[in-house]
Amino acid sequence: MTDAVRATPVVAYVGLGSNLSDPAAQVRQAMAELNGLPESELLARSPLYRTAPVGPADQPDYVNAVVSLKTRLSPRGLLEALQAIERAHGRQRDGTRWGPRTLDLDILLYGDERLSEPGLQIPHPEMGGRAFVLVPLADVAPSGLRVPGLGTLADLIERCPREGIAPIPVG
Ligand code: ADP
Ligand code: MG
């Protein structure tokens, strides 16, 4: 861990995605692992959604979801913990942008903070126009939630075409 735990917890939102090796199982398992993060408490899990791939189209559909957690991990500490979970799911980074992956965990929001550092940008730079992030985010966050620099979640959802995304029935 590169930096310290914070005295005051914040609510963070984490986006989950997978399109390889039984994606729904990868995402459910990752939620269980997020539930075990140190210095953190999982608050809510969205339903899982089947979504069309962004970027290269010759890859399987994705499963996406979002969780909220209360955490005292710093943004960098949280990122490192998420990357450790990605690695445990056998994630290989071959440099292909938006290419297939067993598990992708992104910090969408960390309280109301904005951060732009090498390797860590918060809010996540692509979240504003992506239904597969915004729709599950709205399942676990209040619609009045402010996305720093972008406006409210409700406004973002209204502007975003809700295409290529379908809830996966439970069970
Ligand atoms: P993507 O999620 O954009 O498809 P990756 O998961 O391969 O791509 O992430 C690439 C890099 O994005 C990671 O090495 C990480 O350092 C960086 N990154 C920047 N901001 C964030 C964030 N908010 N959450 C997760 N990763 C981030
Ligand atoms: Mg990522």
Mean pLDDT of 7-23: 96
How much of the chain exceeds pLDDT 70, in percent? Answer: 96
99: pLDDT confidence band, cut at 50, 70 and 90?
confident
81: pLDDT confidence band, cut at 50, 70 and 90?
very high
> 111's torsion region: left (phi>0), alpha (psi -120 to 50) or beta?
left
How much of the chain exceeds pLDDT 90, in percent? Answer: 82
Q: What is the DSSP string of the chain?
A: --SPPPSS-EEEEEEEEE-SSSHHHHHHHHHHHHTT-TTEEEEEEPPPEEEPPSS-SSSPPEEEEEEEEEE-S-HHHHHHHHHHHHHHTT----S-TT---S-EEEEEEETT--EEETTEEES-TTGGG-HHHHHHHHHHS-TT-EETTTEEHHHHHHHS---SEEEPPP-
Q: Which atom of ligand 1 is nearest to the CA of 93?
A: 7
In this predicted structure, what is the pLDDT of residue 96? 73
Instruction: Answer with the residue of higher pLDDT: 1 or 42.
Output: 42
- On average, the pLDDT of the chain sits at 93
2: pLDDT confidence band, cut at 50, 70 and 90?
low
In this predicted structure, what is the pLDDT of residue 57? 85
Q: How far is the CA of 119 from the centre of ligand 1 (A)?
A: 7
Q: How far is the CA of 41 from the centre of ligand 1 (A)?
A: 22
* Spatial CB neighbours of 148, under 8 Å, sequence gap ≥ 6: 109, 112, 113, 114, 123
139 flagged as catalytic: no
| Atom 26 of ligand 1: nearest residue by CA position | 106
Q: Is the CB of 98 under 6 A from ligand 1?
A: yes
Q: In a 10 Å sphere around its CB, with 0-12 CB exposed, 13-18 middle and 19+ buried, how is residue 126 labelled?
A: middle
In this predicted structure, what is the pLDDT of residue 3? 67
Q: Which CATH superfamily is domain 5-167 in?
A: 7,8-Dihydro-6-hydroxymethylpterin-pyrophosphokinase HPPK (3.30.70.560)
Q: Which one of 79, 102, 117 would you pick to mutate in the ligand 1 pocket, going by the greatest count of ligand atoms within 8 A of its CB?
A: 79
